Amino acid sequence: MKFAMTASLCVAWVGLHATASAALRDPTEPPPVAQAAMAASSAGSGSAADDAAGNSPKPRHIIVSNGRSYLVERGRRLGVGDALGSARIERIDSDAVWLREGSSTRRVPLYAGVSKRPAIEYPSAPSPAPSPAASAAMAKRTARTHSPQKEAP
């Protein structure tokens, strides 16, 4: 009787543990729908396919070292004049890379759809004048801290 009870508890525990672990997922992973969409988009944008089609890889990271801008592509640091796919890097800005292919130059933005604009300046509100009571308290504190001290004999 004890053996049957222990065995049934073990089977129930194993079954409960299996269903609980299947229900848990990593909270840092995107939902399954997003994972499927990312897999579909990355499948069509392979680097070998880009090179075979003649398309240059898209720049993703720009770093500045000793005052010079560099493009980081596939773990390599590329500067002005270096080759990126079938093009040469003409210029590196903070938000785009200029590539020359043959006689044409094209701008490849680092962040598509994002453009820099000057910040909006809001008019500053005038600071309120201090109340007479606050002015008197400040004068009293100033007089107390800046008054000459008598020296001890």
Q: Which of 34, 58, 36 has its CA nearest to residue 46? A: 58
Identify the burial level of 90 via C-beta atoms within 10 angstroms of its C-beta, where 0-12 means exposed, 13-18 middle and 19 or more buried.
Answer: middle
Residue 148's pLDDT is: 60
Q: Mean pLDDT across the stretch 81-88?
A: 88
Q: Flag whether pLDDT at 82 surpasses 80.
A: yes
Residue 153's pLDDT is: 57
One of 2.40.360, 2.30.30, 1.10.287, 3.30.230 is the CATH number of 56-109, namely 2.30.30
50 falls in which pLDDT band (50, 70, 90)?
very low
Q: Which of 77, 75, 50, 51 has its CA nearest to residue 63? A: 77
CA–CA gap between residue 111 and residue 25 (Å, rounded) = 32
User: pLDDT digits over 16-33, tens only?
Assistant: 665 555 567 777 777 777
pTM higher than 0.85 for the full model? Answer: no
Q: Flag whether pLDDT at 116 surpasses 70.
A: yes
Locate the domains of the chain by residue range. 2-26, 56-109
Contacts 24+ apart (CB under 8 A), 74-82: 74/47
